Structure 1
Amino acid sequence: MAISWFKPVPARVAAEQLRFMLGTAPFAFIVGGIGNAAMAVIFALNAPVLPLAIWAVCAFLPVPFLRLLANRFRDSPDPVAEAGRYQRYTILLATAIGVLRGILPWIAFDQASPLAVALLLCFMAGIQAGSLTFMAPVLPAFVGYSVVFIAMLSLKLVTLGDPMYWGMAIGSILFCTAIIASARSAAQTFQNMVELRFENNELVERLRQETAIAQAARLEAETANQAKSKFLAAASHDLRQPIHAQGLFLEVLARGQLTAQQREILDNARAASSASGDMLNTLLDFSRLEAGVVTVSKRCFELQPLLNRIGTELAPSADEKGIVYRQRDTDVMVESDPALVELILRNLISNAIRYTERGGVLIGCRRRSDQVHVEVWDSGIGIAADNQQEIFREFHQLGNPERDRRKGLGLGLAITERLARAANHELRLRSVVGRGSKFALILPLAAGQSGMQADPEPSASANDHTTLGTPCRILVIDDDEAVREGMLRLLKTWGARCEAVEGIEQARLCLGHLTPDLVICDYRLREQRTGAEAIAILREQIPGLPAILITGDTAPERLREAEASGIPLLHKPVLPAALFAKIRSTLPPGAKRAHG
């Protein structure tokens, strides 16, 4: 810690003060030395020449000492720690310079005229003022220099014995006092400026560190999120394979002759398989949203059939919990994507049932001008105001710290909100803790709906037909043996002639004895090859060969690749009804090919 007129100065500030003074002082003293030489020439007319010449030469002596001091300080291994010591050296050197300049009046004044003395005083006042500009930051050095110089000057003026010179001495002392006060103010300003620069540097450094920490945290979060996505995608794919095969075998089994007890056991097994599929499809919905491959196909349709389907599916769950499931019938038609609307409402209603323990759930529609508010009311636990945004984050659940799988994965409302956003529909929430919640999906009313007919609902039920209705040959490509076996058995029950292979090369060999009407291919094959690649190779031999891709992948990049192929796509686990409908829609009418 250095000292500046009884006020401590931080060492790093003192170091900056010294750098400034020692950096500018040598040049200033060279200029001052030239002025001193000029004054010596003027006074040499009336004063001894030799002493004046010696003094003029000595006036340049501080320059090498100042340079030496500046270089030593600059090269110091720790200038901040050495600032106090070098400040003391600087004070001693400045005091010595004051003594040197104070000698001039003792040499020149004895034989000088009052005019010459006044001229010298003006010159020295100018030097004193000039010294302030570079010496003031190190205030003790400037004070030492000024006090010694003015003291020697005033003392000489007093010894001249003329009252006029006494007045000059008093004026010199007053001038010294004023200039020291100015120097103190300048020193404080310089100190404030240096401290402000340090503070700014610290703020910049702190900001840089915080930015680096934030970037590191962001990268860590992105890496963790990517790792999570990859893990979920890999886990989802590996789980989908056996569940997909299980569904195929259960469908084959259901088409056989079973006793009542066997049928009941089979129904339970199918229900368990369906529940597993639902959870995996929830992950799939989320992954498709993440991948940006959700397409919106809007058309006019009636809400009531859609609500009836959801009620048929979910009302039994409400009955099992002992709560009331009520639905108000409606005749409104809306314009939207029915598949997305059904998924949104199913998520909202199933979520309402899941978190309602007494009372019930009510589904109704309200017309508001050119809009329809589809509302889902429940008397459940309610949602606190500060949680009403959080529930739309993925993997976020209220009231499920134990992660009970029966309460889902915490993705339902996240998917719902993103689906609504994808379809450009508003989703509103009102809730009171302990009293329940109301979710409202805002849909556009179909324009002029009074005279409109709803677009027909597509049928995808496997129960509509027991066979595909036309002889066809199907080639199945899948690297999972259980899936191949399940597909073979199920397709044969539908009347198809089929073969199943595990890779592209085996599929090419099959073309030697089988000309397929349709290829059903898994998207991910062995050796990093894809179903799209396999189909492209087969189409080189059979142009326009109809094909269906089936994938268990949920990784966003995989979903985008599969969607970009332009080949009809199904996701494992595939419901037999959906597979049946996709095969029928993909096969050309009356498809029948001769053996190759």
Structure 2
Amino acid sequence: MRHSALDPASTPDLQARIAELEQRVAKLEKINSVLIDRAERAVDNGQGSAFSLFQTAIGLERQVRERTCQLSRTLRRLEQVNAELADAKNLAERASRAKTRFLAQAGHDLLQPLYAARLTLSALDEVQTSDEGHRLTLRVERALFTSESLLKSLLDISQLDAGVVIPQVSTVALGQLLSDLANDFAPIAHLRNLDLRVVPSSVHVSTDPLMLKRILQNLVSNALRYTEKGRVLVGVRHRHDWIRIEVIDTGSGIPKDQHCAIFDEFHRGKGAASEPEVVGLGLGLSIVQRLIRALGHRLALESEVGRGSKFSVELPRTEGLPLPLAQPFEDHPSQGRGLSGALVVVIDNDSAVREATAELIKRWDCKAVPICDLSEMEEVVAQRGRAPDLLLVDYHLDHGSGLDAIAAVHASCGVDVPAIVVTADYSEETEARVAAAGIELLRKPVKPAELRALMAHLLE
């Protein structure tokens, strides 16, 4: 039999089913309520964390901005300080260059008083009649020699630092240069009871002959100064396309911690000789280093305390005919020959030098006529009735150069009067101009014996 929906028999089952569903709904609602509550708490917690992170980010951004501003201010201050330091450095460098240029260009004026003093002293020595007088003049001469050496060394350094010394590279025969070196230092080595040996060489090198000679002179002088006994050896070693000129001594040696310091200005090692002929001023090696740098050569040092030192100069070897080096004038045995009665006109714009020179050569039985410029020359010729026998002319005059004055005298007198240009200008340009004119050149301060010998030679 089929029951209807409202059949009382089916009601209990339906009610049970409804009750079960209601329980399940209540349970789901409870679970849903718990989940909703957790979700809301999670959302609330998430919003709080996000806000906290947002606040932290804002705080960090503010700190970064503040630090960035501080860094920017520091960088700007650093840039300002660097700019100030750069300005100060440039100012110091300009001042140093100006000082260096001044010393390099003022050599003529600085050496003039020493030249006048040396000439006056020579004249004074010739009139001394007592041993005490000669002893005192010798002492003054040694003091002048030291002052002259110091000043000339300072001028050399200034010219090298100023870049006014430009190497004139040519092919040079080492044989002649080494021979001159041996002759120059033989008396000093003999005085100190040292054996100076210079090994001959036929090699040719590419260098500036005057600068290389100055380098070797300083190295040999330094070796003699610090060698108490034994010998000094100068020799040449071949290294393919290079050669090494070595200066070896048996002196006191140099400690390793002093190998750099010895090239500083005014540095003097222990054990230096005290004789005036080899007295050192501490500038020789400093000049050597500057000359080496200017020439592009290489300098090496090996030394052991108590066993001596070896300085080596490396420079390029070359082939071909060498350009002749300027030969030093040799004194004549009888230096007065040709001087007696000679009419010598001294042209110099420095009154002290002019008068001292005239006074000195009068002692050599010459007729000396000092004048300051060419305006007085016509009067001299008119009074004497003839052209002078010799001209002794300063290179830098108030109006023109000494070469101009010599040319004017030649034109006025109609004869080529022998002439000597005397100058404290050590530039190679001046030397080249004088050489091109065929005129003899002496550099101030001139040694009286050297001047006298050259005058005698020209008046023969």
TM normalised by structure 1 equals: 0.53
CA distance in 2, matches of 1:426, 1:381: 24
Alignment correspondent of 2:53: 181
Query: Contact conserved, 1:476 with 1:520, CA < 8 A, in 2?
Result: yes
Alignment correspondent of 2:249: 378
Query: Contact conserved, 2:250 with 2:309, CA < 8 A, in 1?
Result: yes
Alignment correspondent of 2:183: 309
Distance 1:357 1:423, change over 3 A: same
Letter in 1 for 2:238: R
CA distance in 1, matches of 2:431, 2:198: 38
CA distance in 2, matches of 1:404, 1:473: 37
Q: Do structure 1's residue 575 and structure 2's residue 447 form an aligned pair?
A: yes
Residue 365 (structure 1) shift? 2.8
Distance 1:270 1:375, change over 3 A: same
Distance 1:178 1:484, change over 3 A: same
SS in 1 for 2:182: helix
Q: 2:327 aligns with which of 451, 458, 462?
A: 458
Letter in 1 for 2:122: L
Distance 1:538 1:172, change over 3 A: farther
SS in 2 for 1:431: strand
Query: Contact conserved, 2:108 with 2:423, CA < 8 A, in 1?
Result: no
Q: Do structure 1's residue 298 and structure 2's residue 170 form an aligned pair?
A: yes
Letter in 1 for 2:47: F
Alignment correspondent of 1:486: 356
Alignment correspondent of 1:30: none
Alignment correspondent of 1:283: 154
CA distance in 2, matches of 1:305, 1:579: 23
Alignment correspondent of 2:222: 351
Q: 1:199 aligns with which of 52, 55, 71?
A: 71
CA distance in 1, matches of 2:454, 2:362: 16
Residue 477 (structure 1) shift? 1.8
SS in 2 for 1:499: strand
Distance 1:200 1:306, change over 3 A: farther
Cα deviations by residue, 1:489-545 (Å, 9 ceiling, x for unpaired):
4445678654213x44xx4133344366765444667xxxx4646765886786699
Give the number of the structure with larger relative contact order, counting CA–CA contacts within 8 Å between residues 6 or more apart: 2
Distance 1:550 1:165, change over 3 A: farther
CA distance in 2, matches of 1:371, 1:166: 94
CA distance in 2, matches of 1:537, 1:446: 41
Letter in 2 for 1:413: L
Cα deviations by residue, 1:94-149 (Å, 9 ceiling, x for unpaired):
xxxxxxxxxxxxxxxxxxxxxxxxxxxxxxxxxxxxxxxxxxxxxxxxxxxxxxxx
Q: 2:204 aligns with which of 305, 326, 334?
A: 334
Sequence identity percentage: 27
Query: Contact conserved, 2:348 with 2:354, CA < 8 A, in 1?
Result: yes
CA distance in 2, matches of 1:551, 1:454: 24
Q: Do structure 1's residue 510 and structure 2's residue 377 form an aligned pair?
A: yes
Q: 1:408 aligns with which of 280, 285, 298?
A: 280
Residue 447 (structure 1) shift? 2.6
Q: Do structure 1's residue 431 and structure 2's residue 292 form an aligned pair?
A: no
Distance 1:294 1:332, change over 3 A: same
Query: Contact conserved, 1:328 with 1:365, CA < 8 A, in 2?
Result: no
The alignment covers a number of residue pairs equal to 405
Query: Contact conserved, 1:317 with 1:353, CA < 8 A, in 2?
Result: no
Residue 347 (structure 1) shift? 0.8
Alignment correspondent of 1:98: none
CA distance in 2, matches of 1:273, 1:325: 29
Alignment correspondent of 2:338: 467
Query: Contact conserved, 1:304 with 1:330, CA < 8 A, in 2?
Result: yes
Query: Contact conserved, 2:170 with 2:323, CA < 8 A, in 1?
Result: no
Residue 178 (structure 1) shift? 0.6
SS in 2 for 1:289: helix
**1:11-30 maps to which residues of 2 (within 5 A)?**
none
Query: Contact conserved, 1:491 with 1:498, CA < 8 A, in 2?
Result: yes
Alignment correspondent of 2:10: none
Higher helix residue share = 1
Alignment correspondent of 1:208: 80
Distance 1:423 1:210, change over 3 A: closer
Alignment correspondent of 1:368: 239
Distance 1:359 1:225, change over 3 A: farther
**1:199-238 maps to which residues of 2 (within 5 A)?**
199-213=71-85, 215-216=87-88, 219-220=91-92, 223=95, 226=98, 237=109
CA distance in 2, matches of 1:311, 1:535: 34
Q: CA-atom RMSD, angstroms?
A: 5.0
Distance 1:273 1:407, change over 3 A: closer
Distance 1:318 1:473, change over 3 A: closer
Query: Contact conserved, 2:249 with 2:309, CA < 8 A, in 1?
Result: yes
Alignment correspondent of 2:265: 394
CA distance in 1, matches of 2:360, 2:423: 18
Residue 440 (structure 1) shift? 0.9
Alignment correspondent of 2:4: none
SS in 2 for 1:463: coil
SS in 2 for 1:511: helix
Q: Do structure 1's residue 500 and structure 2's residue 370 form an aligned pair?
A: yes
Letter in 2 for 1:293: V
The worse-fitting range, judged by mean Cα deviation, of 381-390 and 256-265 is 256-265
Structure 1 gaps of 5+ residues are: 1-162, 591-596
CA distance in 2, matches of 1:194, 1:416: 58
Query: Contact conserved, 2:265 with 2:283, CA < 8 A, in 1?
Result: yes
Residue 427 (structure 1) shift? 1.8
Structure 2 gaps of 5+ residues are: 1-34, 382-386
Letter in 1 for 2:327: P
SS in 2 for 1:574: coil
Residue 395 (structure 1) shift? 3.2
CA distance in 1, matches of 2:456, 2:399: 20
